[in-house]
Structure 1
Amino acid sequence: MPVPPPPLFASMDALYLHLLRSCASLPHVAAVHAHIARAHPAASLFLRNSLLAAYCRLGGPLPAARLLDEMPRRNSVSFNLLIDAYSRAGLADRSLGTFARARATRVKPDRFTYAAALAACSRAGDVRAGKAVHALAVLEGLAEGVFVSNSIVSMYARCGDMDEARRAFDVACEHDDVSWNSLLSGYVRAGAREETLKVLALMCRCGTGWNSFALGSVIKCCASSLDITGHIAEAVHGCVLKAGLDTDVFLASAMIDMYAKKGALSNAVALFKSVREPNVIVFNAMIAGFCRDEAEVGKEATVQALSLYSELLRRGMQPTEFTFSSVLRACNLAAEFGFGKQIHGQLLKHSIQGDDYIGSALIDLYSNSGCTEDGYRCFRSLYKQDIVTWTSMISGFVQNELFEKALRLFQELLCYGLKPDLFTISSVMNACASLAVARTGEQIQCLATKSGFDRFTVMGNSCVHMYARSGDVDAATLRFQEMESRDVVSWSAVISSHAQHGCARDALCLFSEMMNAKVVPNEITFLGVLTACSHGGLVDEGLRYYEIMNKEYGLAPSIKHCTCVVDLLGRAGRLCDAEAFIRDSGFHDDPVVWRSLLAKCRIHGDTERGQLVADRIMELEPTSSASYVILYNMYLDAGELSLASKTRDLMKERGVKKEPGLSWIELKSGVHSFVAGDKSHPESNAIYKKLSEMLSKIEKPANTGNVSRESNDVSSREQNLEGCHSEKLAVAFGMIHLPQSAPIRVMKNLRVCRDCHSTMKLISGSENREIILRDAIRFHHFRGGACSCGDYW
């Protein structure tokens, strides 16, 4: 008689087990469950546990818990499955509750039960509950086994209690690779570099072989430690070679990253070249190493990063999100914006442009290249906009002087309920400083205080800068005095603020205090000191500080420092010395220093020298309007109308256009802007009426020495707008809306003309009001018919 073929499944349990393993969703498991309930009500405990495991895998702990309640019989496996499911779902309390329930029944928990309970404590970071489970394991006699002892060590390490983790490790009867790895990873997570290295040495003395995980943990610790030396990094590299793991690409990428972070880029390159078959992770580590810090590696290294990316593509490798973010950073550091746009095209091709880190890198790329609209489109295209991407976009607007857009975007961020971080608020503060909108800045400062950011030095520096730029030097000084910790930026900001407000002696006193505080000045500090000397007419002091900047502090003068010295000498009438200084400074080919001398030639009426200087500037920068404007005004001051006319015709011939004068003032209703002869404002009639009333009260000098123009304008039309220059309209608007006790703060994008300066002095006396005017050079505080600059500007 022939033997029948064996059935496909030897039993019903085997059939159901096959179906459960094939389930891909919760409804499938529920269907199998229903069939078992109808056709096989007396299912074995093994089958019910398999059904429970399927629920945990596809449905989570809640449906699994319902099944456990319905089971007529349970064993330790049943409870272990549910304890682990609750733990993975982040429900530590329920996980430990199930553990307690298992102990309360006749089911005796085994080593897997305790391991699952300890894992729940680890994920929740609940060291107190972990200690309780540890104690129960000791009572049950299970803590001596390596499986449970490893779970105990891992639990303490993940909860950050490395003393208890080491104690549990030392009392364990047996150690395996997991034991050592758990202890090592705990020390790495805690940043305990010395202990990590000691454990690595102890492994060698105990005869335990080093594996890739242990060495990888040590390398990670060395890479993240700030005080690690190159010798230690090389010693760890030697351990890798001794263990015969030098071909492990995971360790190779970690060591490349370690060397790059320690500044040993040549070692990183040599290691990269020694890898026989580098994968994309190794390439990523080397690319990131090349663009770790531009100040350390230089532009050449960032260009090598881009070449390495091209090599990655030639080998047919698929770039990852980390590859693209590193390459975009390299494009930013190397100013290879064209290459960056090509990378953007590849991102679109791979459909990963919506990644958060990549999105921030793209925003930075376009912001640095001046294409803020493209950066804004990248920002809006992100699937998820976190605080990092919001900050990148706001900083991009500030960087490109789109301050109003930065403030609007910050307001939108708050409307979405996002919490700005320190860097977000600092960037917005810089926007407020540039716009000189003190009221908005005060509100943002309140938000920073509420968020706890006011204690940070960078926040205090931003506040000092904002108040100083808004015309409130007293508030800037007060905020500086309130700071708990001051760095060189803090001192430089408060010194520069006093310099810009004409408080030269106060600025120099602050510099002396800075020296007494043992804070080393930088280039910005000396720029503030030289500005103070220039605006205060302190020639000898300014020249002395310029000399010690290089001799005593080793700071090379920049074009800004040299311009300050030219301004210092020129204001004092030492035009010949100023010209000689320019020719010896090394910046004789820069039009900025010559333009400063040209302005002083106009002030002192040296038309002959001014003509020669103007010719030199136009040779260096033929399209800049500032030089033509100063020369035109100088001819008018000297009565050379024909030469002035020729200068204006030359501007038209060369297509040179002058920036229009703009003034603005901040009130509760917002920021109000004006140009000369502006009648677009809704309150235009009231403004002109108030201005006429103020002008009728003052008696201006019969001859101010020049024909007044809106900030040195050359247009014949605007010559007729003398009485309605932009700053006068802004002051009249402020007089209408601000109370008598409030100072009127007006900001202007160009220098104030002599006529307006004279008018502001007289109005401050006749109206008994304080007027603070910021022009392109400095602040003017008008009180009682006088100006803080002493007519020396």
Structure 2
Amino acid sequence: MPPRAPPPFPSLDAFYLHHLRSCASLPQAAAVHGHIARAHPSPSLFLRNTLLAAYCRLGAGDTHQARRLLDEMPRRNAVSFNLLIDAYSRAGQTEESLETFLHAHRAAEVKADRFTYAAALAACSRAGRLKEGKVVHALAVLEGLAEGVFVSNSLVSMYARCGDMGEARRVFDVTEERDDVSWNSLVSGYLRVGAHEEMLRVFALMRRCAMGLNSFALGSVIKCCSGGDGSVRGIAEAVHGCVVKAGLDTDLFLASAMVDMYAKRGALSEAVALFKSVLDPNVVVFNAMIAGLCRDEAAVHKEVVREALSLYSELQSRGMEPTEFTFSSVIRACNLAGDIEFGKQIHGQVLKHCFQGDDFIGSALIDLYFNSACMEDGFRCFRSVPKQDVVTWTAMISGCVQNELFERALALFHELLGVGLKPDPFTISSVMNACASLAVVRTGEQMQCFATKSGFDRFTAMGNSCIHMYARSGNVEAAIQRFQEMESHDVVSWSAIISSHAQHGCARQALQFFNEMVGAKVVPNEITFLGVLTACSHGGLVDEGLRYYEIMKMEYGLCPTVKHCTCVVDLLGRAGRLADAEAFIRDSIFHDEPVVWQSLLGSCRIHRDMERGQLVADRIMELQPASSGCYVNLYNMYLDAGELSLGSKIRDLMKERGVKKEPGLSWIELRSGIHSFVAGDKSHPECNAIYTKLAEMLSKIDKLTTTDTSCIEWVETTGREQNWMNCHSEKLAVALGIIHLPQSAPIRVMKNLRVCRDCHSTMKLISKSECREIILRDVIRFHHFRDGSCSCGDYW
């Protein structure tokens, strides 16, 4: 029997084509390629193109082998070049993609077709290369291919993705033939650049031209209505009607988009009704509803959040697999509900589904733990995220600020810079809040410089953080300057500048800013009025304060909080109207809040009303037995009145009840860093120099009091426990500042408690004897000491 003749080459082509199409990895394609090179002497162009397509498809961004194969091909056509142009484009190698396009355009044996131009235009679209896209457009016009619907659609898409909607619209208008893709490209382009009104006009024109509605176009319009733009308000229901009319109300993609649209517009009842009308919702629809229920944290109630958690349970009971978006939304719901235990269970589910590496889930978990004061759990969660991007770092920094771990927040920021990440505006804003709380103005100024260099200073939120930082650091002039430099002011900006003036005792200026705010048509909120009432309280403007309190309730419909009521009690109490202050407390809904009674007790001490003070203190001890502030105020009141035996009883009562006074702490920022002190502190490296300087300053004051009768207050207040008071923490901090800071620099000292009368009097005299400006921030307000007087006018 004669030997069987070898099969013809076409059959060999079919054999290798079958194997190439079944390849699932690059090594498999390379193995088939090697077999072809050994066993197939003359593969067809079609087989070579199929091999090239396999390399492009399986290369995962590695286009080296595909390029080498194209260069080795003895004969090539437009398909060969089209495959490589598209592969380079998808790999993000725009330059190589366009070079290959030009090579195809110039090759004598190749005639570039519409797919060649579409692939080149797609490369320009992905990279946002408008200039190169216009060159490709010009070549398409020269080749007579620009009028075809396939290339014209690619042109519209390219111009739209590059942000040139004027040129995209011109190409669309001159094109004689249009299909669904043409309209969808234009609609999505207007949506991308935020031209919502124009997008809706194009959608209306699409309907007039009798173009059939599809889920892509309707999805773009729904997304436009979800944006909250006032210009498209009221259109959501009409779009919903179009969806129903087109018979697409069962489309799950559109259903999820409409649920999201209603939720974003605050129409939760409509979103829930729509969700319940979906016969067989998938996980995307569930995700949209869960996220929608938790969208507006200022408006949602715990019952609504509980419904979101219930939906998650229903999703699981239906056998659906939750996605990353599901978990991030459910964790947010746990955060809003304050349900840390359920949140820990969800964390376990995250680990079970191997989503612990997701950035958004990691950030949500950090927020959950930090908001629940589970600090170590939050840090462990942060360290377990494999890819720590700027979002997770910012969540950590803001969580530390929220939990008053300000030094740790600054340390994390420096660590972030150390790993080479670039902070975003939210990161810088959080760090500035830490600087504001620590009152480290030098570090805050560095943050502002960083924000300016990064181009973040144009954001209103960044300007607001700067105002807050400078005001809390004692530099109200810099806060004003930053406010004036801002292009636009929102309610936070106005509230910050009003509160800064209130804290610095500039009551009239604070009220002036409030009037300017009202004139600028910015509606004040609760924080704004808190600043106004604080200003009136610190400035002794009783009638104005009571009037603004009524305006807040009657004209703006704002419900007073316990902080507003405390301000009114302080306003009346400082002015000596103690009976009115007590009546106000008893008539308010906050009569069981210890903080309002604490304010009244402080006023009783100022005005030496010991009888009323004793009754108020009894009330505070009844409401809050462990409150050290009440005992300390009562003790000082007895000492002021010379009732030493009663003062001793209060101390004994504190010991008996285990009540401990918070230690006074003062700190000052110098070039060498932050230096903190407690009373009688001997731990500072420059301890000897500090006490020597302090003794020198007090000696100067002694001489000053013998020649200046205005200093009689200091003589009166230094009679008791003088040796101990001379070692108070703020005096030590001021002494260190005078040693190191130049004469022209103000000395900024921060204290965690209220400054005592002795230190207040001493600071006034030090400012006069040393010819220095001293800025002291206590827990209540700022005191600016200049030439023997204080900005508070001794009304504090």
Matched position secondary structure for 1:663:
strand
Change in 2 beyond 3 A, CA 1:414/1:455: same
The one of 464, 467, 492 equivalent to 2:467 is 464
Looking at structure 1, the residues matched to 613 and 477 of structure 2 have their Cα atoms a distance apart, in angstroms, of: 39
Q: Using the alignment, how far apart are the partners of 1:6 and 1:231 within structure 2?
A: 74
1:229–1:262: 8 Å Cα contact kept in structure 2? no
Instruction: Give 3-state SS (helix, strand or coil) of 1:772's partner.
Output: strand
Q: 1:516 to 1:219 in 2, by over 3 A?
A: closer
Gaps in structure 1 of 5+ consecutive residues? 710-718
Deviations 1:461-519 (A, max 9, x none): 22222222212223223333333333333333233223222333333344444445444
Where does residue 41 of structure 2 map in the other structure?
41
Q: Distance in 1 between matches of 2:136 and 2:585?
A: 79
Q: Does 1:86 align with 2:93?
A: no
Match of 1:68 in 2: 70
Contact kept, 8 Å, 1:26 with 1:58, in 2: the verdict is: yes
Question: Match for residue 647 of structure 2?
Answer: 644
Q: What amino acid is aligned across from residue 36 of structure 2 in structure 1?
A: I
What pairs with 1:623-702 in structure 2 (closer than 5 Å)? 623-699=626-702
Distance 1:138 1:726 in 2: 80
Q: Distance in 1 between matches of 2:300 and 2:597?
A: 35
Distance 2:639 2:443 in 1: 42
TM-score (structure 1 length as normaliser): 0.93
Between the aligned partners of 1:278 and 1:484, the Cα distance in structure 2 is 46
What secondary structure does 2:726 align onto?
helix
1:82 and 1:98 in contact (8 A); partners too: yes
Question: Is the contact made by 1:610 and 1:631 (CA closer than 8 Å) also made in structure 2?
Answer: yes
* Compared CA separation, residues 761 and 203, structure 1 to 2 (3 A): closer
Determine whether 1:426 maps to 2:438: no
CA distance in 2, matches of 1:33, 1:311: 51
Uncovered stretches (5+) of structure 2, i.e. residues with no partner: 706-711
C-alpha distance in 1 between matches for 2:174 and 2:791: 77
Partner of 1:51: 51
Q: Which amino acid aligns with 1:64?
A: A
In 1: Cα distance, 2:773 partner to 2:662 partner: 28
The alpha-carbon distance between structure 1 residues 604 and 297, as it changes in their structure 2 partners (threshold 3 A), is closer
Equivalent position amino acid for 1:457 in 2: T
What are the residue-to-residue correspondences of 1:24-35 with 2, within 5 Å? 24-35=24-35
Closer, same or farther in 2 for the Cα pair 1:684/1:189, shift >3 Å?
Answer: same
Classify 1:194/1:516 alpha carbon distance in 2 versus 1 (closer, same or farther; 3 Å): closer
Query: What is residue 224 of structure 1 aligned with on the other side?
Result: 227
Counterpart CA distance in 2 for 1:240 and 1:512 is: 49
SS at match of 2:675: strand
Is structure 2 residue 112 aligned with structure 1 residue 100? no
Give 2:127's match in structure 1, choosing from 124, 137, 141: 124
The one-letter code sitting in structure 2 at the alignment partner of 1:62 is H
1:589 Cα deviation from its structure 2 partner: 1.5
Please point out which of 383, 386, 389 is paired with 1:380. Answer: 383
Report the Cα offset of residue 206 of structure 1.
4.0
Segment of structure 1 superposing worse, 132-141 or 304-313:
132-141
How far the C-alpha of 1:290 sits from its partner, in A, is: 0.8
The aligned counterpart of 1:704 is: 716
Report what 1:276 is aligned to: 279
What residue is the counterpart of 2:180 in the other structure?
A: 177
- Aligned amino acid, residue 19 of structure 2: L
| Paired residue type of 1:704 | E
**Structure 1: distance between partners of 2:469 and 2:99:** 55
- After superposition, the Cα gap between the structure-2 partners of 1:695 and 1:297, relative to the gap in structure 1 and judged at 3 Å, is closer
Structure 2 vs 1, CA of residues 552 and 261 (structure 1 numbering), >3 Å: closer, same or farther? closer
Between the aligned partners of 1:184 and 1:510, the Cα distance in structure 2 is 45
The separation in 1 between residues aligned to 2:313 and 2:464, in whole angstroms, is 42
Distance 1:8 1:639 in 2: 119
Q: Does 1:542 align with 2:545?
A: yes
Please give the per-residue CA displacement for 1:748-783, whole angstroms capped at 9, x wherever unaligned. Answer: 111111222222222222222222221111222222
Give the partner amino acid of 1:94. E
The answer to whether structure 1 residue 592 and structure 2 residue 604 are counterparts is no
Q: CA deviation at 1:726?
A: 0.9
Alignment-derived partner of residue 716 in structure 1: none
* Cα distance change of structure 1 residues 169 and 788 upon mapping to structure 2, 3 Å threshold: closer
The answer to whether the 8 Å contact 1:708/1:753 transfers is no
User: Which moved further from structure 2: 675-684 or 44-53?
Assistant: 44-53
Q: What CA deviation, in whole Å up to 9, does each residue of 1:221-250 have, x standing for no partner?
A: 222352265642222222222222222211
SS of corresponding position for 2:716:
coil
What amino acid is aligned across from residue 535 of structure 2 in structure 1? Answer: A
Preserved CA contact (<8 Å) 1:708 1:755: no
Structure 1 residues 758 and 299, CA, compared in 2 at 3 Å: closer, same or farther?
A: same
CA shift in 2, pair 1:517/1:143, >3 Å: closer
Q: Secondary structure at the match of 1:664?
A: strand
**Is the contact between residue 563 and residue 593 of structure 1 (CA under 8 Å) also seen in structure 2?**
yes
Q: Cα gap change, 1:761/1:656 in structure 2, threshold over 3 Å: closer, same or farther?
A: same
CA distance in 2, matches of 1:192, 1:570: 56
Distance 1:236 1:619, change over 3 A: same
Aligned 1:235-274 pairs, distance under 5 A: 235-274=238-277
Q: For residue 749 of structure 2, give the secondary structure of its aligned residue in structure 1.
A: strand
- Residues 56 and 87 in structure 2, CA contact (< 8 A), matched pair in contact too: yes
Distance 1:205 1:740 in 2: 77
Q: Shift in Å at residue 435 of structure 1?
A: 0.7
Aligned to 1:712: none
Distance 1:8 1:340 in 2: 67
Give a deviation string over 1:565-596, Cα, whole Å, max 9, x none: 22222222222222122222332221111111
**DSSP 3-state at the match of 2:753:** coil
CA distance 1:230–1:752, change in 2 (3 Å): closer
Match runs of 1:525-564 below 5 Å? 525-564=528-567
TM-score normalised to structure 2 length: 0.92
Once structures 1 and 2 are overlaid, which stretch shifts more, 369-378 or 130-139?
130-139
Query: CA 1:471–1:149 in structure 2 vs 1: closer, same or farther (change >3 Å)?
Result: closer
Moved more, 370-379 or 220-229: 220-229
Task: Tell me the number of residue pairs that the alignment of Structure 1 and Structure 2 aligns.
Answer: 784
Contact 1:215-1:251 within 8 A present in 2 as well: yes
Q: Secondary structure at the match of 1:561?
A: helix
Task: Look up the match of 1:343.
Answer: 346
Output the CA distance in 2 between the equivalents of 1:488 and 1:209: 46
**Relative to structure 1, is the Cα distance of residues 219 and 747 closer, same or farther in structure 2, using a 3 angstrom cutoff?**
same
- The alpha carbon displacement at 1:363 in A equals 1.3
Q: Distance in 2 between matches of 1:188 and 1:510?
A: 39
Deviation at 1:632, TM superposition (A): 1.5
One-letter code of the match for 1:685? N
Contact 1:708/1:754, CA 8 A, preserved across alignment = no
- 761 and 128 in structure 1: CA distance in 2 versus 1, 3 angstrom threshold: closer
- Do the aligned partners of residues 151 and 448 (structure 1) sit closer, same or farther apart at CA in structure 2, a change above 3 Å counting? closer
Q: Which moved more, 1:134-143 or 1:597-606?
A: 134-143
Aligned partner of 1:583 in structure 2 is 586
- The whole-number CA distance in structure 1 between the counterparts of 2:561 and 2:207 is 56
Q: Secondary structure at the match of 1:461?
A: helix
3-state SS of paired residue (1:295): coil
**How does 1:470-549 map onto structure 2 within 5 Å?**
470-549=473-552
1:603-633 CA distances to partner (integer Å, 9 max, x unpaired)?
A: 2221111111111111111111111111122
In the alignment, residue 35 of structure 2 is paired with which amino acid?
H
What is the CA distance between 1:160 and its match in structure 2?
3.0
- Give, in whole Å, the separation in 2 of the partners of 1:791 and 1:225: 50
Question: Is contact 2:156–2:186 with CA below 8 Å preserved after alignment?
Answer: yes
- Per the alignment, residue 330 of structure 2 pairs with 327
Cα pair 1:92 1:124 within 8 Å, conserved:
yes
Cα pair 2:717 2:758 within 8 Å, conserved:
no
* Matching of residue 754 in structure 1 with residue 766 in structure 2: no
CA offsets 1:420-455 (integer angstroms, 9 cap, x no match): 222211111111111111111111111112122223
The amino acid of 1:411's aligned partner reads H
- Structure 1 residue aligned with 2:620: 617
Is the 8 Å Cα contact of residues 193 and 225 (structure 1) preserved in structure 2?
no
Residues 355-394 of structure 1 aligned to structure 2 (within 5 Å)? 355-394=358-397
1:422–1:698: structure 2 CA closer, same or farther, 3 Å change rule? Answer: same
SS in 1 for 2:792: coil
Whether the 8 Å CA contact 1:52–1:78 is kept in 2: the answer is: yes
